[in-house]
Amino acid sequence: MMKKQSYLIGIAAASLGFFVDLYDIIIVSVVRQSSLLGVGVPKEELLTKGVWLLNTQMAGMLIGGFLWGILGDKKGRLSVLFGSIFLYSVTTWAAAYAPNYETFLFLRLLAGIGLAGELGAGITLVSEQMPQQKRGLGPAIIGSCGMLGALVGAWVGGRYSWQFTYQLGGYMGFALLFLRLGVLESGLFEELKKTHHTSMRGNLALIFGNPYHLRRYVAVVLMGFPGWFVNGIVMTFTPEIAQSMGMGAIPSVATVFTVFFLGFTFGDLSCGLVSQWLKSRKRAIRLYLSAFTILMLAYFAVGRLSLHVYYALFLLMGVSVGYTIVLLTNAAEMFGTNIRSTVTTSALNLLRASVIPQSLLFSALTPALGAATAAGITGVCSISLAFWAFGHLEETFHKRLDFINE
């Protein structure tokens, strides 16, 4: 009973953390234009400064992914869950009062570092606490609850001032910090501390110095490119892309995010359940990635026809990229307890940071080809990389997690 209670508390803590995580990521895009105007950015620079804002926060997540991942393997999963949310809360609240663009950018860098530890640490903790045959359910619940944060972010960002959206993010983070006081540490990590020296835990050389481990690690990162292509490119720059497509009525960014993450909420849960039903992580991932590919082609072919078609396609694409949570579960299961937090947390944030090369490619192609064509080429590249990476994933549904990598 105590073991069951501990993983249920862990699921609740990780779910709320992912809620705050996605709330923040969404408000950056939804209030992008108003926040930049609010800190003094000229209207003609909104696109270029918006790309810098997005990439700066993602760079922070990339730094934080390794920082928190290594800390999670050396000091414990709970150290990450407390430290990351504290840093995020302080800097997000402060961003609402930024006097200029440079200060705002710096605060979003720090917030990105703080935010980086949330989902990776939560997935690692819950995967290690749950029974083997039910492991796919915990992350599916975390993903579904977390997606509600994106919906709240889209709703709040579309109705209130950009300052209020950041203030609210900070307050939610502080509330979550206190709610985590009842969370217990992973039993597998506690056993690892007794038997293995700190130098064996969170050692990057075990990942990057081993071709087999490195190949699987890179595959996890590349598999996440399509989801962040939609989030970081097509949704964030919807006004520019829709105009380039020749749409008369420009879709609302807030509505696009709302319908997409409504679909994502169902996609996370359904892909987790499909994975349990098929008793396979890889088959579920392949099914949903294939559906995403078809829907992305439909978006560029017929998305311009009407706002209803445009929004409907984003709803369905949201469902199809629900494989992301199963992918992270797969990542946690592929690697040993001594580097599991490092792999899961850093890979997640490398995955998120994939928006950096994708946005750079998009912005480089846009002046010559137009936003729609530039987005289409970027999308083809991301999907191609994902299908290549799929072949390097390992099936882990029946795998035990009480092992280490040396």
Q: Who has greater pLDDT, 405 or 59? A: 59
With 50 as the cut, is the pLDDT of residue 61 above it? yes
With 90 as the cut, is the pLDDT of residue 302 above it? yes
Q: Who has greater pLDDT, 187 or 338? A: 338
3-state secondary structure 33-88: HHHHHHCCCCHHHHHHHHHHHHHHHHHHHHHHHHHHHHHHHHCCHHHHHHHHHHHH
Residue 133, φ and ψ in degrees, nearest 5: -75, -5
CA distance linking residue 209 with residue 214, whole number of Å: 7
Mean pLDDT for the stretch of residues 118-127: 74
- Model pLDDT for residues 242-281, shown as the tens digit of each residue: 999 998 888 988 788 888 888 988 888 899 889 989 999 9
- Model pLDDT for residues 86-96, shown as the tens digit of each residue: 898 899 999 99
Question: What share of the chain has pLDDT > 90, as a percent?
Answer: 33
With 80 as the cut, is the pLDDT of residue 377 above it? yes
pLDDT band at 2 (very low <50, low <70, confident <90, very high): very low
With 70 as the cut, is the pLDDT of residue 194 above it? no
pLDDT score, position 182: 64
With 50 as the cut, is the pLDDT of residue 1 above it? no
Mean pLDDT for the stretch of residues 354-360: 86
CA distance linking residue 145 with residue 44, whole number of Å: 38
Mean pLDDT for the stretch of residues 59-71: 86
Mean pLDDT for the stretch of residues 385-396: 92
pLDDT band at 372 (very low <50, low <70, confident <90, very high): very high
With 80 as the cut, is the pLDDT of residue 121 above it? no
Residue 248 C-alpha from the chain's centroid: 32
Q: Distances in Å between the alpha carbon of 135 and those of 2, 147, 396?
A: 17, 19, 11
Mean pLDDT for the stretch of residues 232-238: 87
- Model pLDDT for residues 101-120, shown as the tens digit of each residue: 999 999 999 999 988 877 77
- Tell me how many degrees the CA angle 65-70-76 measures, rounded to the nearest 5: 115
pTM: predicted TM-score of the whole model, two decimal places: 0.78
With 60 as the cut, is the pLDDT of residue 287 above it? yes
The average confidence (pLDDT) of the chain is 84
Tokens of 124: 């690692």
Name which of 269, 192, 245, 228 is nearest 374 in CA terms.
245
pLDDT score, position 195: 65
Q: Collapsing DSSP states into helix, strand and coil, what is residue 251?
A: coil
Question: In a 10 Å sphere around its CB, with 0-12 CB exposed, 13-18 middle and 19+ buried, how is residue 400 labelled?
Answer: exposed
Q: Who has greater pLDDT, 359 or 133? A: 359
CA distance linking residue 389 with residue 244, whole number of Å: 31
Domains of the chain in start order, with CATH, are 2-390 (1.20.1250.20)
Mean pLDDT for the stretch of residues 75-93: 83
With 70 as the cut, is the pLDDT of residue 303 above it? yes
Amino acid in the structure at residue 10 = G
Q: Who has greater pLDDT, 197 or 400? A: 400
Q: Distances in Å between the alpha carbon of 143 and those of 98, 136, 321, 372?
A: 31, 11, 12, 30
With 80 as the cut, is the pLDDT of residue 124 above it? no
